[in-house]
A and B are shown apart, each in its own frame.
Chain A
């Protein structure tokens, strides 16, 4: 049932819809601190899955949510917990006040032209 499917994610976060200490953007990048799997008994299975997903490369919050089929807000809460435990590194995207510089935009344009 639809409702049940969406109640379960918030059971993972203990009912929290946002993290008390950390905020993340949709494209905040997450990477696991350790290259090797560590068995950590107190982690939720979903938090462990996030670590596995972010082991080899940095993955955006939105992509983690899509891959694990979890709501974005749940992934943000779990990443907040992982950050509290120093298990991940986070790269925040440029904010609204940091307008992108010309060189960066030109790199994206060149890259897109040659890639697609």
Chain B
């Protein structure tokens, strides 16, 4: 049996998560749906659709076969904040994560960054430069987001496969460094 690993792609609605996943995935664009059952509806704002017993949440989903026995799955988080309840299942056991940010509304990235920091999921921040506009530097983004010095900030264009690949590699590099530290000092964790 192969080993399955996953990388989670987070970020605000419309920031380019779907594009990134589809750009690097070897399978056609797929969306995985999860149902919210009546139990979760209590905390949700579904004003106006009373009587509906369930709704669905779609997650972008992709696959990269690294080797016949090693498969990497990519999951885009649901865009809306009200689907936070799904994030634990998404993040549990993730090899790494990417927070995709849009400089025009950086504040939409704060929640994702807090989430991954609090759960010790290695992550990189990727700034999607729409139409090639690099209107800020990675250092400005780092300061604005109050990032740890070890968290990489990558300027990218997620429509380009090579650029999206660099984003994934940046996140994996954080995971690699953390794993190397664990090996060097196993008792500290």
A107 & B182 in contact (Cβ 8 Å cutoff): no
Binding site for A on B (CB under 8 A): 1-6, 24, 27, 30-35, 37, 52-56, 59, 61, 63-67, 70-73, 75, 89-90, 92-93, 95, 161-162, 165, 168-169, 172-173, 175-176, 179-180, 182-183, 189
Contact B2 A72 (CB under 8 A): no
In the complex the two chains form, is A108's CB within 8 Å of B33's CB? Answer: no
Instruction: Kindly identify which residue among B4, B73, B162 contacts A91, using a CB–CB cutoff of 8 Å.
Output: B4
Tell me the nearest residue of chain A to B91, going by C-beta: A96
Question: Is B56 within 8 A of A96, CB to CB?
Answer: no
Contacts of A109 in B (CB 8 A): 169, 172-173, 176
Question: What are 16 of the A-B contact pairs (CB < 8 Å)?
Answer: A2-B55, A6-B54, A17-B35, A26-B32, A62-B75, A63-B30, A71-B34, A72-B32, A91-B3, A93-B93, A102-B179, A106-B176, A112-B64, A112-B165, A115-B64, A116-B165
For residue A87, CB closer than 8 A to chain B, the reply is no
> With a CB–CB cut-off of 8 A, which chain B residues contact A115?
64-66
The answer to whether A112 and B172 touch across the interface, beta carbons within 8 angstroms, is yes
Q: Which of B24, B32, B67, B176 has the most CB of A within 10 A?
A: B32
**Which chain A residues border B35 with CB–CB below 8 Å?**
6, 9-10, 17, 71-74
Contact for A26 among B89, B165, B172, CB less than 8 A: B89
**What is the size, in residues, of chain A's interface with B at 8 Å between Cβ atoms?**
48
Indicate if the CB atoms of B2 and A99 lie closer than 8 Å: no
For A102, the closest partner residue in chain B by CB is B179
Contact of B73 among A27, A100, A113 (CB under 8 A): A27
- Contact residues in A for B180 (Cβ distance below 8 Å): 102
B residues less than 8 Å from A65 (CB atoms):
32-33
Q: How far is the CA of A9 from the CA of B53 in the complex (A)?
A: 13
Query: Which A3-31 residues have a C-beta within 8 angstroms of B?
Result: 3, 6-7, 9-10, 17, 25-29, 31
